[in-house]
């Protein structure tokens, strides 16, 4: 026997995913694994002889690297002595400064770090993250790629990303040889959208260094590290090779961010029975020891694996906190697809979104996700309005700005034209006007004209061979009349020369000023301190293009021809077949339509027709002294010859009332005004006549739409506000008659 409710739930998107119970032997345990070592640090004569359950002869490459370059033995004795819970409380205590926590972290072993983080619940982790973030102001990073590797589309998407406020933009390649072309398109597009935005092209390290040598990229976050030696070695690196690479990038003026994340060791089959959070603590200790200013972490590409085990989402937030505690810039994941379920995905996001991280995502897909060649697109082009709305809902700055459509089109077209010009100037295969147009207005790369990909890759090889540099790109732009973009690219070269963006958590503003943890540190210490979304920035983030000014919706509709004529004060009627139709103060006057867009004339005619069909005699009055539908109906009933009235508000909510009932009682209430058609109003009229004549009456069938409120509550409020404004306390009820429409009769 099956429950159709269970069957329906099984068809939900969520249930495409597999949840598993913990299996520590395979590393499938989020935190506090049964085989995680006890925190341990034994130092003899200034030499570490035991670390987290291992004696020095058994230290693997990661242990050895962390001991040699990371652990601060001057702090270690003091820090390791501290009780786990005491440390945990310090993390959330706004009176313990970030600097003090960062100092202590230098002397903590990976097992101790993981254990303390494991004591915090989700809200405590969020508070700790808010407090420990390196840079004062959170920001965000974009992904810009497309399946066709179309240069015009890459540039247009980069321009839009930059214009929307992303501080960094990352691209990659489908075909490795495209790297220099994609890097150039991204450089041009980013500087078109907003000068100072940093860019990278994620490719194999040697190729990436070649781009760095030429000043075509300004940051790199490709440097992956892992928490066990076999996986590190399978990744074809050691902590020493990665640390060397980091210094090599920095030597060429490239900002370096390492990458790690829970779940990778289990995925690669060498978790050694250890928990994901503990292994990430080992990664982060190595990242800090290697001298990286920051890390991209938060599970990244393994997120769906971590979410398969209990506590996965909490562990991912925990690893972000751990990185921040180690004084690293954090680009906090949320890039790879975490779940099929929009609810689950968004719930996970809140861990980083609400406290704010240095980069809330390490790649928001500015284009539709199927063009995302990172395999990312957890949040994409179609989700931008949601993201902006959630920022507005929480009054939180998660790094994306609203931009009007015409402005987006402008920067997209300019960037595509600029790339067209640079390709022509550098002798690369031409970018057609058709490509520029499609890149400006198109939805995705399927709308892009196909290019000769063999010619493109050949040209890309040629670019590297010719040594084309960022300065050459600036010159090409300058020659073709794109002076401002050329200036912005020269400005990025100046940044490379002063190298200020190599400091922790650096971003560059539109005026070329670097903001990092050195000159713009996070100093949050409780309410009233740190970065708060207020002032001009709050105005910007709340003013979405689709926001409506209520004053506009409140505007009158004055010059229309009258629907009803007023005929003096209404008296009590005597006709036993009479049904009073009592309308609200603004009905067919200041307001002319119901919320479902029915004109008040049509509504009145339908009601009157229904009353006559039912054998009754309609009579129209306006209640001027109240706006509540119950009182309108009740007041009408007092004047009705039959004692029955149909009360109706301007928004279309109606009630059938009887003279002897309490005001808030009724015969039938029609509260779902958005759903009523003219046939509904006719049926209400018929029922009212039925009550007047003492017949048996079945209630008017009504539908239920539970979304009507969410959709229309604002309009309801505004319409009701106008009705209320039209109320004249103590005013007499007015007799009405339908005006003859102009042009009829």
Residues of span 315-374 touching another protein by CB under 8 A: 327
Taking the complex as a whole, the smallest distance from the CB of residue 552 to another protein amounts, in Å, to 44
Q: Which residue do the tokens 């920067």 mark?
A: 411
- Position among 131, 135, 148, 496 found at the interface with another protein (CB under 8 A): 496
Q: Candidates 264-272, 312-320, 377-385, 491-499 — which segment interacts with another protein by CB under 8 A?
A: 491-499
Question: Which residue from 52, 157, 160, 210 is in contact with another protein, where contact means CB under 8 A?
Answer: 210
Pattern 700-739, another protein, x by CB under 8 A: ----------------------------------------
Q: How far is the CB of 70 from another protein (least distance, A)?
A: 6
Q: Is residue 215 at the binding interface for another protein, with CB under 8 A as the rule?
A: yes
Contacting another protein (CB under 8 A), which of 184, 316, 517, 583? 517
- Give me the least distance between CB of 218 and another protein, in Å please: 11
Of 279, 381, 436, 514, the one binding another protein (CB under 8 A) is: 514
What is the sign of the dihedral through the CA atoms of 64, 65, 66 and 68? positive
Instruction: Give the CA diameter of the chain.
Output: 110
**Nearer of residues 518 and 721 to another protein, judged by Cβ:** 518
Phi/psi of residue 697, nearest 5 degrees: -125, 125
Residue 493 touches another protein, criterion: CB under 8 A: yes
Rounded to whole angstroms, the Cα distance separating 108 from 40 reads 9
Give the residue, chosen from 68, 176, 343, 523, that forms a contact with another protein under the rule CB under 8 A. 68
Distances (CA, A) of 615 to 601, 656, 699: 21, 16, 17
Q: Does 635 bind another protein (CB under 8 A)?
A: no
CB 213, min distance to another protein, A: 5
- Closest CB to another protein among residues 457, 491: 491
Q: Which is nearer to another protein, 435 or 520 (CB)?
A: 520
Which of 190, 292, 296, 297 binds another protein (CB under 8 A)? It is 292
**One residue of 105, 116, 126, 474 binding another protein per CB under 8 A:** 474
65 binds another protein (CB under 8 A): yes
Identity of the residue, 216 or 564, whose beta carbon is nearer to another protein in the bound complex:
216
C-alpha 136/C-alpha 529 separation (Å) is 10
With CA atoms as reference, report the closest residue to 321 among 338, 298, 304.
298
* Helix pair 110-117, 276-289: axis angle to 10 deg: 130
509 binds another protein (CB under 8 A): no
Alpha-carbon distance of 375 to 529, in angstroms, equals 38
Binding status of residue 500 toward another protein by CB under 8 A: yes
Of the ranges 330-338, 368-376, 498-506, 576-584, which one interacts with another protein (CB under 8 A)? 498-506
Distance, CA of 309 to CA of 33 (rounded, Å): 12
The encoded tokens of residue 698 equal 């079945």
Rank residues 249 and 423 by Cβ distance to another protein and give the closer one: 249
Phi, psi of 170 (to 5 degrees): -120, 135
User: How many residues interact with another protein (rule CB under 8 A)?
Assistant: 75
Q: Is 124 exposed, middle or buried (0-12, 13-18, 19+ CB in 10 A)?
A: middle
Angle at 400 between CA 399 and CA 403, to 5 degrees: 150
- Please report how close the Cβ of residue 69 comes to another protein at its closest, in angstroms: 6
What residue has token string 């007499």?
Answer: 732
Supply 575's token pair: 């006709």
Range in contact with another protein (rule: CB under 8 A) among 157-165, 483-491, 673-681, 727-735: 483-491
Assess 87 for contact with another protein (CB under 8 A).
no
Among 406, 494, 536, 706, binds another protein (CB under 8 A): 494
The stretch among 28-36, 209-217, 457-465, 540-548 that binds another protein (CB under 8 A) is 209-217
**Minimum separation from the CB atom of position 439 to another protein (A):** 26
Among 37, 213, 354, 672, indicate the residue that binds another protein (CB under 8 A): 213
**The tokens of 29 are what?**
């345990």
Measured from the CB of residue 98, what is the shortest distance to another protein in angstroms?
11
Give the ranges where 149-289 is alpha helix by DSSP (H): 151-163, 179-193, 205-213, 229-234, 239-251, 264-267, 276-289
Least distance (Å) between residue 67 CB and another protein: 10
Any idea which residues carry the catalytic annotation?
141, 143, 170, 221, 296, 335, 362
Among 40, 487, 602, 609, binds another protein (CB under 8 A): 487
Question: Using CA atoms, how far apart are residues 708 and 287, in angstroms rounded to an integer?
Answer: 52
By CB under 8 A, what part of segment 95-124 binds another protein?
99, 102-103
Edge-to-edge strand order for the sheet containing 329-331? 198-202, 168-172, 139-143, 359-365, 329-331, 294-296, 255-259, 219-224
Q: Does 481 contact another protein by CB under 8 A?
A: no
Q: Which is nearer to another protein, 5 or 494 (CB)?
A: 494
Among 289, 360, 428, 611, binds another protein (CB under 8 A): 289
CA distances from 544 to 161, 191, 597, 615 (A): 16, 24, 26, 53
DSSP character at residue 176: G
How far apart CA 272 and CA 265 sit, in angstroms, is: 8
User: Contact, 336 vs 376, CB < 8 A?
Assistant: yes
Residues 6+ apart with CB under 8 A from 165: 139, 140, 194, 399, 400, 401
Q: By CB neighbour count within 10 A (0-12 exposed, 13-18 middle, 19+ buried), where does 663 fall?
A: middle
Quick one: 102 or 147, whose CB is closer to another protein? 102
> What are φ and ψ of residue 391, in 5° steps?
-60, -45
74: its two tokens: 């001057």
Q: Which of residues 227-286 bind another protein (CB under 8 A)?
A: 229, 232-233, 236-238, 240-241, 243-253, 256
Residue of 14, 61, 96, 727 that binds another protein (CB under 8 A): 61
Choose the stretch contacting another protein; rule: CB under 8 A; options: 35-43, 178-186, 501-509, 551-559. Answer: 501-509
396's tokens? 């939180």
C-beta closer to another protein: residue 124 or 234:
234
Q: Which of 174, 427, 430, 467 binds another protein (CB under 8 A)?
A: 467
């Amino acid at each position: 026997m099956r429950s159709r409710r269970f069957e329906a739930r099984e068809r939900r998107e969520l249930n495409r995913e597999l949840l598993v119970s913990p299996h520590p032997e395979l590393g499938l345990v989020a935190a506090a694994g049964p085989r995680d070592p006890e925190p341990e640090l034994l130092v003899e004569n200034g030499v570490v002889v035991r670390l987290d359950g291992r004696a020095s002869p058994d230290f693997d490459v990661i242990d050895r690297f962390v001991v040699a370059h990371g652990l601060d033995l001057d702090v270690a004795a003091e820090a390791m002595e501290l009780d786990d819970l005491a440390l945990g409380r310090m993390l959330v205590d706004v009176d313990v400064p970030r600097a003090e926590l960062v100092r202590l972290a230098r002397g903590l072993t990976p097992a101790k770090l993981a254990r303390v983080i494991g004591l915090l619940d989700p809200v405590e982790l969020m508070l700790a993250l808010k407090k420990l973030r390196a840079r004062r102001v959170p920001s965000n990073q974009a992904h810009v790629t497309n399946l066709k590797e179309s240069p015009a589309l890459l540039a247009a998407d980069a321009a839009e990303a930059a214009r929307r406020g992303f501080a960094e933009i990352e691209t990659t390649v489908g075909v490795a040889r495209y790297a220099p072309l994609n890097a150039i398109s991204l450089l041009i597009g980013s500087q078109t959208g907003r000068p100072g935005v940093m860019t990278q092209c994620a490719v194999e390290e040697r190729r990436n260094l070649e781009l760095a040598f030429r000043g075509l990229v300004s940051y790199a976050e490709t440097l992956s590290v892992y928490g066990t030696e076999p996986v590190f070695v399978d990744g074809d690196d050691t902590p020493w090779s990665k640390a060397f690479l980091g210094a090599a990038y920095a030597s060429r003026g490239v900002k370096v961010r390492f990458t790690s994340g829970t779940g990778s060791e289990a995925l690669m089959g060498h978790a050694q029975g250890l928990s994901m959070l503990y292994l990430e603590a080992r990664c982060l200790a190595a990242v800090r020891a290697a001298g990286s200013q920051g890390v991209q972490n938060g599970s990244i590409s393994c997120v769906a694996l971590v979410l398969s085990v209990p506590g996965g989402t909490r562990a991912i937030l925990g690893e972000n906190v751990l990185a921040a505690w180690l004084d690293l810039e954090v680009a906090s994941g949320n890039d790879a697809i975490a779940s099929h379920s929009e609810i689950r995905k968004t719930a996970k996001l809140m861990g980083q979104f609400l406290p704010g991280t240095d980069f809330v995502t390490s790649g928001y897909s500015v284009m539709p996700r199927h063009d995302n060649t990172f395999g990312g697109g957890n949040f994409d082009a179609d989700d931008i309005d949601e993201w902006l709305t959630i920022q507005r809902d929480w009054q939180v700055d998660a790094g994306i700005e609203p931009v009007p459509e015409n402005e987006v089109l402008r920067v997209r077209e300019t960037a595509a034209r600029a790339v067209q010009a640079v390709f022509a100037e550098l002798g690369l295969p031409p970018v057609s006007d058709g490509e520029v147009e499609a890149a400006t207005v198109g939805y995705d790369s399927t709308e892009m004209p196909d290019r000769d990909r063999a010619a493109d890759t050949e040209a890309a090889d040629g670019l590297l061979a010719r040594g084309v540099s960022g300065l050459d790109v600036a010159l090409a732009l300058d020659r073709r009349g794109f002076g401002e973009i050329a200036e912005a690219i020269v400005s990025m070269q100046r940044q490379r020369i002063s190298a200020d963006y190599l400091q922790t958590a650096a971003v560059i503003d539109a005026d070329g000023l670097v903001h990092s943890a050195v000159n713009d540190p996070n100093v949050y210490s409780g309410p009233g301190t740190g970065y708060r979304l207020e002032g001009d920035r709050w105005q910007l983030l709340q003013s979405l293009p689709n926001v409506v000014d209520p004053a506009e919706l409140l505007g009158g509709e004055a010059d229309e021809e009258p629907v009803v004529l007023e005929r003096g004060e209404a008296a009590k009627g005597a006709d036993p077949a009479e049904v009073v139709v009592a309308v609200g103060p603004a009905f067919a006057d200041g307001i002319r339509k119901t919320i479902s867009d029915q004109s008040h004339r049509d509504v009145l005619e339908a009601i009157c027709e229904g009353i006559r069909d039912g054998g009754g005699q309609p009579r129209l009055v306006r209640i001027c002294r109240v706006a509540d539908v119950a009182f309108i109906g009740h007041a009408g009933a007092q004047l009705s010859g039959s004692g029955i009235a149909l009360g109706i508000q301007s928004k279309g909510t109606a009630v059938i009332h009887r003279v002897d009932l309490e005001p808030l009682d009724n015969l039938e209430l029609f509260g779902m005004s958005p759903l009523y058609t003219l046939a509904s109003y006719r049926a209400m009229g018929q029922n009212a006549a039925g009550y007047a004549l003492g017949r048996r009456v079945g209630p008017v069938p009504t539908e239920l739409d539970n979304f009507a409120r969410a959709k229309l509550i604002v309009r309801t409020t505004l319409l009701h506000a106008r009705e209320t404004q039209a109320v004249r306390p103590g005013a007499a009820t007015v007799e009405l008659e339908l005006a003859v429409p102009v042009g009829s009769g």
